[in-house]
Amino acid sequence: MKTLYIIDQGCSIKKDNISFLISKNGVKLTTIPVYKIENIFIFGNQQITSQALNLAFKNNIDILFLTISGGFKGKISGKFSKNVYLRLAQYDIWSKKNIKINYAKSIIRNKIIRQN
């Protein structure tokens, strides 16, 4: 499991040693070890404790808050973004005109080929 999806409304996410404990109305639903998670997607009305947030920060886990239907509300990230190398590569391509043009051409070419 890389992404933990919290969809069922009214759930609570708490820290349980080095795991996240998911419960609803005081009933434990599951416990997931922190090493199995890269992202947490929280849909709608959920609760997450500050201890669970700190566990996520400590383990560089991003938390996204979404509406019930999946619309983006906000994001909490730890100190270090996992996408820093991706961003650097994107900026590198963006700064080189000939690479940027060739990359754009390949996107357009592939789009035309695959639209049939």
Question: Domain range spanning residue 104?
Answer: 84-114
β partners of residue 42: 6, 65
Mean pLDDT, residues 86-91: 77
Q: Using an 8 Å Cβ cutoff, are 82 and 57 in contact?
A: no
The CATH number linked to 42 is 3.100.10.20
What is the phi/psi pair of residue 33, to 5°?
-60, 145
106 shares a domain with 63: no
93 shares a domain with 59: no
What mean pLDDT value characterizes the chain?
Answer: 88
Supply the angle between the helices 84-95 and 97-114 in degrees, to the nearest 10.
100
- d(C-alpha 63, C-alpha 54), whole Å: 11
71 shares a domain with 96: no
Q: Using an 8 Å Cβ cutoff, are 109 and 101 in contact?
A: no
The DSSP output letter for 60 is: T
52 shares a domain with 13: yes
pLDDT at residue 81, rounded to an integer: 62
Mean pLDDT, residues 60-73: 92
- At 5-42, the pLDDT tens digits run 999 999 999 999 999 999 999 999 999 999 999 899 99
70 shares a domain with 88: no
pLDDT band at 94 (very low <50, low <70, confident <90, very high): confident
Q: How many domains does the chain have?
A: 2
- d(C-alpha 59, C-alpha 87), whole Å: 21
